[in-house]
A = this chain, B = another copy of it.
Amino acid sequence: MTTLVFGHTAPDTDSTGSPIIWAWYLNEIKGEAAKPVLLGEPNTEAAFVLKRWNLDKPEIISDVADDQPVVIVDTNNPAELPANVNGADIRGIIDHHRLVAGLQTRGPIDIRIEPLACTATIMWKMIGKDMAQMPEGVKGAMLSCILSDTLEFRSPTTTQEDKAIAYDLAEQLGVDIGDYAAEMFAAKSDVSAFSDAELLRMDSKEFELPGTKFRVSVLETTAPKMVLDRKDSLMKSMETVAAEDGVDQVLLFVVDILNEEATLLVPNDLVKGLAEKSFDATVEGDTVVLPGVMSRKKQIIPNLKL
């Protein structure tokens, strides 16, 4: 049976590109039938990357059947995976997020989690000398994953390994990193087609402090004004999204990639108190700028306090 390779729901560039990379590796190098799939429509940056490298958009699936062989990449969190994921036959996990107690496997399998910025970087290490056989399009996906997850090396999650591998790939592909990243980020920044609720759910993780559940949403953009001009309706939409998703509060951090800062929307006193305690900020009005904050994983989630 063909193994399905997928990342998390609301696929970003890493969760779109890494399944393509790994399915290529399983098919062409390991001789195991595999197919990349998506758990939703890719975001605008990921859609740009597919087009730029002439890659077919993977099929979108809504769930997995019992006993379906699967490889999971870029997450290990069942909340971001198909409802029946633990009914599937999980054959491998490649990820760079913290381990949450959730997935179970039937036997011992290959699991590789490393504290690197990007899943594709781990795959580069695992593929090793077989990288020589990787076609240009798949290499393009790999470079794109790294530039996306590191925000062109600006994010504090960036490691020397991510950076060195991206430069190596860019040289092989004859790509200017600065120009190409700018095109990617412009694609990601065009959020005009999305509703407020879609924006709030686009890049979002649930997180719980004692007594309060959050949806911690991030929008990485080179055009923060485009999002902040919609702040009134976004704040209104937070209440509906929170109620629908069973959380107490949605937090929206608008990350300004070029200026390396985040703007947090402050719709109420709960978020005001959280912003002041978590980021040592003084809040006046309904937004607060957090200088240097770019990474949910490294800078937002670990600091959240009520």
Contacts and interface: CB of A to CB of B under 8 A. Distances in A.
Interface of A: 90, 93, 95-116, 297-298, 302
A110 B298 CA distance: 16
A108 B112 contact: no
A90 to B, nearest CB: 8
Contacts of A90: 99
A99 B103 contact: yes
A110 B102 contact: no
**Complex copy number for this chain:** 2
A200 to B, nearest CB: 25
A104 B108 contact: no
Contacts of A109: 98-99, 113, 115
A98 B107 contact: yes
Nearest to A109: B115
5 contacts: A95-B108, A99-B109, A101-B101, A109-B113, A112-B113
A128 B67 CA distance: 35
Contacts of A100: 104
B108 A115 contact: yes
A297 B110 CA distance: 16
A105 B101 CA distance: 9
B98 A105 contact: yes
A101 B104 contact: yes
A126 to B, nearest CB: 11
Contacts of A116: 108
Nearest to A99: B105
Nearest to A112: B112
A114 B108 contact: yes
B113 A111 contact: yes
